[in-house]
Structure 1
């Protein structure tokens, strides 16, 4: 009796422990499993990635100033970030991975990038 591919159901030829007929079927199967496992985590990761892309695009040189309205216009979600960093003088930087900002006066923000390797 031949084994069948877990994704497409076709007969598998080759090693006895083989589960998929090719790399595409393996990838399809695993992507389908991941998509249904934790939809809330996937949604949050998508928001974090979008926030990171916005900060990265608006801050090409690693340090710049921008208005809150520009961040909102680009779709930045202020409810999601990865971590905070408080300086010795009490300034609170909010980061989305390596890109972050410091809230200034009159709805201006200082965008920064942390180039340190983790």
Structure 2
């Protein structure tokens, strides 16, 4: 008994031949379909990671030493986004440092920031 239902490729829509559980007509369609699904699901993650990487790169560029003081206007003019960071750290004095990966900052005054680099252990 043969089935009269025509199965179609999930990517291009062409009729499928062969195994009953086949979903794609070839490797290209399988790869293309899975890449589309992955791009839809990971769009937000990619945009946040892009902002985090940009923030890290800005901190790295403005802080060639272990510690550097920089004006807030210079930090913002570089495109830094204060809303995105990876973690924060409170030191023994109670000061909070905000980090983008291994580079961090602490606001000293309304327009002054201390940039630091964490020593990874």
TM-score by length of 2: 0.70
Structure 1: tracts of 5 or more residues without a match: 10-18, 20-25
Give the Å deviation of 1:42.
Answer: 1.1
1:64 aligns with 2:68: yes
Structure 2: tracts of 5 or more residues without a match: 1-17, 19-23
Q: Residues 32-66 of structure 1: CA distance to partner in whole angstroms, max 9, x if unpaired?
A: 54322221111111111110111011111121110
1:115 aligns with 2:111: no
Moved over 4 A (4+): 28-33
Secondary structure of 2:40's counterpart equals: helix
Secondary structure of 1:104's counterpart equals: strand
TM-score by length of 1: 0.72
Aligned to 1:23: none
How far apart are the structure 1 equivalents of 2:119 and 2:87? Answer: 15
RMSD over equivalenced CA pairs, Å: 2.2
Structure (1 or 2) with the larger CA radius of gyration: 2
Q: Please tell me whether the aligned partners of residues 6 and 29 of structure 1 are also in contact (alpha carbons under 8 angstroms).
A: no
